[in-house]
Amino acid sequence: MYDIIIVGAGPAGLTAAIYARRAEKTALVIEKSTFGGQITHSPRVENYPGFAVMSGTEFADKLVEQALGQGAEIELDAVNKIEKTDNGYKVICDGGEFFGKAVIIATGSHHRQLGIERENDFVGEGISYCAVCDGAFYRDCSVAVIGGGNSALQEAVMLSDICKDVTVVQNLDFLTGEQKLQSDIEEKKNIKVILSATVTGIIADSKFEGIRLSVKGEDVELKVDGVFVAIGQQPENEPFRDVVKLNEYGYIEADESCLPETELQGIFVAGDCRTKAIRQITTATADGATAAISACRYIDSLK
């Protein structure tokens, strides 16, 4: 029986483990794939306080090292379900079952990908999923933004201030972002919009050179230095539907105190998997600290 079981080993989950151990609570972190989460795909991180520059992998490695150094345990397994028990929760995984007095769900979310050949080969080397994170690397360059919703248009406007030119590629014959953002796009002289277009491939030899499009059935090559994919995110919360409330997009309904909407006590949520306005490393680690402190207080109240 652990004090706290943490599902997910991204920045939120690992920070929660560090805080739990410093409060002298036993902590188990369960991760199904990559320790560190999405940040491991970023070749350069320049917006985390206290570190001028580091790679996402370096950041993740330091978090894992710190959590293990504090005495947290880490298990590589996939969580399928969480069930209430008489004295806590049972976390059911592919490889077995684990028991804890409290559970922190910190599974994060992943960016929807284009689903084209060699996409993963050029992540961080021409393909990005976050203009806030990586936009500065394309200063004075030509870039494309894939998507037509609010996130895509916001990224296009931001990138237009630092890039030579920006091309918005939307698969529909109209933009879906709010009218104010569409007006902002129209006012920017260095932003071009291509409608009714889908990305069909990557132009590259050893280096990323652009993308291939199908525009109303016609094959078109778009030579750009980088592509920012903004077609939405996908949370991984389906296994927890029975214990917490999910919104229409699959995110866990939760407030800033990291308490989800649920009738069950002892369940907490942290990071990108919950409803929130901003999803960055700093907000994920803040959630991890908040959720862990809340979980520790809950466990102390049981005594």
Catalytic residue numbers?
Answer: 130, 133-134
| Sign of torsion over alpha carbons 205, 206, 209, 215 | positive
Distance CA(128)–CA(124), nearest Å, equals 6
Residue with tokens 């980088």: 226
Question: What is the rounded (10 degree) CA torsion for 5, 9, 14, 15?
Answer: -100
- On whether the CB atoms of residues 48 and 281 are closer than 8 A, the answer is yes
Residue 167 DSSP SS3: strand
Distance CA(250)–CA(109), nearest Å, equals 10
Task: Output the six-digit token pair for 37.
Answer: 């989460």
Distance CA(73)–CA(94), nearest Å, equals 18
Kindly report the number of other CB atoms within 10 A of residue 4's CB atom.
Answer: 30
Q: Closest Cα to residue 2, out of 19, 20, 16, 22? A: 20
Kindly report the number of other CB atoms within 10 A of residue 32's CB atom.
Answer: 17
Kindly report the number of other CB atoms within 10 A of residue 217's CB atom.
Answer: 6
- On whether the CB atoms of residues 228 and 129 are closer than 8 A, the answer is yes
Distance CA(37)–CA(113), nearest Å, equals 16
Task: Output the six-digit token pair for 68.
Answer: 């293990």
